[in-house]
Amino acid sequence: MKENTELPPGLFLRIFRAFCDPFIVDSIEGDLIEIYRISRLKRGKRLANFLFFLDVALLFRPGIIRPLGFSIELNHTDMYRNYFKIGFRNILKYKTFSFINIFGLALAMSVSMLILMMLADQNRYDQFHEKKDRIYRILSDYEGSKSPYATSPQPLAETLKEYPAIETTTQLIPGVGVDATHEEKTKEIRGYFTEPSFFSVFSFELESGNRATALSAPYSAVITREVADFLFGDQDPLGKRLEFEDRKLPFPLGGDAPGTPAVSWGDFMVTGVIDPSKYASHLSFDVLVSGSTISSLITSGKMEDRREDWKWYFQTYTFAMLHEGKTAEELTAALDDIVMRKEAEIKSEYTSGFKLLPQALADVALGLSSNDTNNRLPLIGYYFLAALALVIMASACLNYTNLSIARALTRAKEIGIRKVTGALRKNLVVQFLSESVLTALLSLVIAFVLLLLLIPAFKGLWVNQYLNFELPFMPALYLGFVLLAILVGVLAGIYPALFLSGYQPIKALKSLAEIKSGKLGLRKALGISQFVVSLFFITTSILIYNQFKHYLTFDYGFQSESIVNIPLQGMDYQKLSTEYERIPGVSTISACDIIPATGTNNNNEIKVLGSTEEYEAVGVLNIDRNFPENLGIVLLAGNGFGTNDQTASTQILVNEAMVKELGYPSAEAIVGEQFETKWGDQLLVVAGVVKDFRYKLLLNEDAISPMMLRYNPAQFQYINVKIASPDPMKTLAALEGRWKALDPVHPFRYEFMDDELESTHQGIFDVVSILGFISFLAIFIACLGLLGMTTYAAERRTKEVGIRKFLGAGSFSITLLLSKGFLQMLAISILIGAPFSFFVNKLWLENLPNRVEFGVGTVVLGSSVLLLLGIVTISSQTLRVSKAKVVDTLKMD
């Protein structure tokens, strides 16, 4: 009978075998098969299979399931204890090698641990929301964008509510950047317009006030504890009035840029106090204003109406909360549907291929988007750091592998004995792995100490004032660290374990000579790759450092020394400059709207009056008459702005680049030329040509592009005070004193212009610090590896050296003999690494504006550093052996 040879479904049978007590498994399996065959004959395959499954499922009960623990097999704890004992003894016996392994792994692990901490740090954000799994942020994307926008069109929140999958939505509209005044006290506060649903989506609690109604009525404001303490002191702020004066302070990003002159928004009532410092959230604010306020602000012309504008997706943050059990796919479908329905309203020149995408709240931490609510390290940053950590980790693991294989001979007898007394290969693999895991766990201790040193260094990086990494220790982290150590141990130890456990016992015991201590070629290749990587890191760090210095000493085309830029913060510039002119030590004063070459640019589009050509985009800087002189910008042609303000406001100064761009034969030729602007301003007359100076960030622009300077006092944001005094600090104090007399509300802020320019490149210095540190680790670990190999080679040849010396060889020739192989290795590393570093660095440098000269010099410098360190490492061992007394070396055994 054909059917009677059928077996039940193998999967269930295997499951059964897996859980069943091995003592009774066979007979029960026999029963099962017999029953299955009968039922299959009677009921057919499908039903029989099902019944069989039921039978197996019902067998999963105490009495049938195999007992826990190893009671059936041999007790292994003793063996493991032995592995660890031998492991410890080996670590203690070969102290140099253990040190090299443990320290190298520790260095590498500390970097990975730091990255783990960074990830943990970021992921603690927004964990406190009760419904966090159902909250999504809506991103906007268009064709050809670098990254999606975190913001979306304002009408989206309302429209999205119509879809059944969505429980509710809430939107945060930045735009509150005001001076808030209560009685005598004023404070700059920033925040969002939002709706009552804010509190049903997010789990922020109110310290006082009613969550349900706090954001309902127009002109309601929920303020933070900090603001409340400042403005109200001990009083209860609830129900009190606050006067808001709109300053258009940039928010949520934009840092310290000064606001505009104040426009009153009227009185707001405090309806709640919140303490956001208690919550780790990507949303931070000083104030939340009820969204219902917006319509009345729009009616009174104090705010632009974006309520039905589907094209303007640069401002509003929209959050959607799904009904329980609904998935992101349903949200995506809803968003796609909206984009389709609103196609006509969305269509514009900057919304081609427009898309709305959901981003789970949990992904916000690492998913930095354009226009985001706070500065965070973008995902690419983590990849970059992780790649560096991985390279270092690989290097340290290679050391372990390399040294373990090189020292295989020391373990050969042990392996032989273990095999003879019955150890299987897998037992030996486990033994060697437990040894490497032990090493890794010891490294973890040192790595932790290193980490404690690394954390403040990392937090002290310039860029961290924007990223705000706090790096707290959390319980889950420790588990992560231990898992990391175990993983590293296994990775480092797996190859030696497989290699060493493969010895044939008879060879291992009989003659050591027949044992190969690992292919020398392979070990050398590993060493060479370490040095190539190190060389690459060294060269890159030197190069980036040179680039940094190049930027610092860059000739901007204007003088920034001893100029202090003071943000006006809404104050009248004329009033302030008249005051300041009287202060001794102040030489010249000028004003402008943005500080050139610090990252902010404005544009206008102009063309020669009546010309048929396209409008040309040019940079715009609004300045007063003193500005060129104050910054030492030379006027090449023309007379500059006229003395009459009315005339001056229609005049422009242009730079040489503009003259060239528009094809005028000389600077004089363009003076008097009339331009029209795209946005229907009055005509602009060229009143002069200035020498080119840097207006955009050095990182952003290689050649200076055309720009114009306008006389436009209404736009002024900064006053530039040139200090010419032996004691600039005293003058500064005087400046501050006058400021306080004029404006008691806003704190006096100032920055030296050269510092400001310098700080635009601090980010590069961070990269130098990180890369420099990584190169240090790479070279250190590579040298540790080299040290290990030379030590071992020197030890093995001690006797040979003794005999050679006895026969008359000199110290030098012996040092050379021992070092030759390793020197060769270094030479090969440089031969491969130098051109590699050169061309790869050339590749990215090509795309950098205002790049530093990158010649062979940098590579030679890097190679010399590498060579020097390598030679010191090698000779430290070879010299020791070659200098040893002949008697000692020959006696040694």
> Which positions touch other proteins (CB under 8 A)?
4-5, 7, 24, 26-35, 37, 54-55, 57-64
CA distances from 650 to 572, 659, 725 (A): 21, 19, 36
Task: Please count the other Cβ atoms lying within 10 Å of the Cβ belonging to residue 24.
Answer: 12
- For other proteins, the closer of residues 36 and 268 by Cβ is 36
The H or E element that residue 659 is part of is: helix 656-661
β-bridge mates for residue 289, sequence order:
193, 221
Would you call 768 exposed, middle or buried from its count of C-beta atoms within 10 A (0-12, 13-18, 19+)? Answer: buried
- Interacting residues of 885 by C-beta distance below 8 A, sequence separation 6+: none
Going by the DSSP 8-state scheme, the letter that residue 370 receives in this structure is B
Question: Shortest gap between Cβ of 66 and other proteins (angstroms)?
Answer: 13
How far apart are alpha carbons 384 and 841 in whole angstroms?
A: 16
The H or E element that residue 174 is part of is: strand 166-182
Question: Shortest gap between Cβ of 528 and other proteins (angstroms)?
Answer: 57
Sheet strands (E) in 417-571: 563-567
Sheet strands (E) in 214-312: 220-224, 241-246, 263-274, 287-290
- For other proteins, the closer of residues 27 and 75 by Cβ is 27
- For other proteins, the closer of residues 45 and 89 by Cβ is 45
The H or E element that residue 784 is part of is: helix 762-796
Residue 378 C-alpha from the chain's centroid:
5
How far apart are alpha carbons 770 and 777 in whole angstroms?
A: 11
- Interacting residues of 398 by C-beta distance below 8 A, sequence separation 6+: 526, 529, 530, 785
- For other proteins, the closer of residues 59 and 886 by Cβ is 59
How far apart are alpha carbons 750 and 730 in whole angstroms?
A: 14
Angle at 754 between CA 749 and CA 758, to 5 degrees: 100
Question: Shortest gap between Cβ of 24 and other proteins (angstroms)?
Answer: 7
Here the contacts of 257-262 (C-beta below 8 Å, separation 24 or greater) are: 257/567, 257/600, 257/717, 258/567, 258/568, 258/569, 258/570, 258/717, 258/718, 258/749, 259/177, 259/188, 259/569, 259/570, 260/570, 261/570, 262/179, 262/570
Question: Which residue blocks in 142-268 are alpha helix, DSSP H?
Answer: 156-160, 197-201, 225-232
Residue 740 C-alpha from the chain's centroid:
40
CA distances from 50 to 44, 56, 814 (A): 10, 10, 79
Helix (H, G, I), strand (E, B) or coil at 177: strand
Question: Shortest gap between Cβ of 74 and other proteins (angstroms)?
Answer: 23
- For other proteins, the closer of residues 58 and 703 by Cβ is 58
- For other proteins, the closer of residues 23 and 350 by Cβ is 23
Task: Please count the other Cβ atoms lying within 10 Å of the Cβ belonging to residue 353.
Answer: 10
- For other proteins, the closer of residues 23 and 80 by Cβ is 23
Query: In terms of Cα–Cα distance, which of 750, 789, 809, 769 is closest to 870?
Result: 789
- For other proteins, the closer of residues 32 and 430 by Cβ is 32
- For other proteins, the closer of residues 34 and 702 by Cβ is 34
Question: Shortest gap between Cβ of 57 and other proteins (angstroms)?
Answer: 8
- Interacting residues of 731 by C-beta distance below 8 A, sequence separation 6+: 583, 584, 585, 586, 723, 725
- For other proteins, the closer of residues 24 and 457 by Cβ is 24
- What backbone phi and psi angles, to 5 degrees, belong to 264? -75, 135
- For other proteins, the closer of residues 47 and 449 by Cβ is 47
Question: Shortest gap between Cβ of 26 and other proteins (angstroms)?
Answer: 5
End-to-end CA distance of the chain: 75
- For other proteins, the closer of residues 54 and 449 by Cβ is 54
- For other proteins, the closer of residues 2 and 582 by Cβ is 2
Question: Shortest gap between Cβ of 59 and other proteins (angstroms)?
Answer: 4
The dihedral formed by the CA atoms of 530, 531, 534 and 540, expressed in degrees to the nearest 10? -130
β-bridge mates for residue 722, sequence order:
563, 588
Question: Shortest gap between Cβ of 158 and other proteins (angstroms)?
Answer: 59
- For other proteins, the closer of residues 9 and 261 by Cβ is 9
Question: Shortest gap between Cβ of 3 and other proteins (angstroms)?
Answer: 12
Question: Shortest gap between Cβ of 514 and other proteins (angstroms)?
Answer: 45
Question: Which residue blocks in 360-424 are alpha helix, DSSP H?
Answer: 361-364, 379-406, 408-420
- For other proteins, the closer of residues 37 and 407 by Cβ is 37
Residue 115 C-alpha from the chain's centroid:
10
- For other proteins, the closer of residues 29 and 754 by Cβ is 29
How far apart are alpha carbons 177 and 190 in whole angstroms?
A: 4
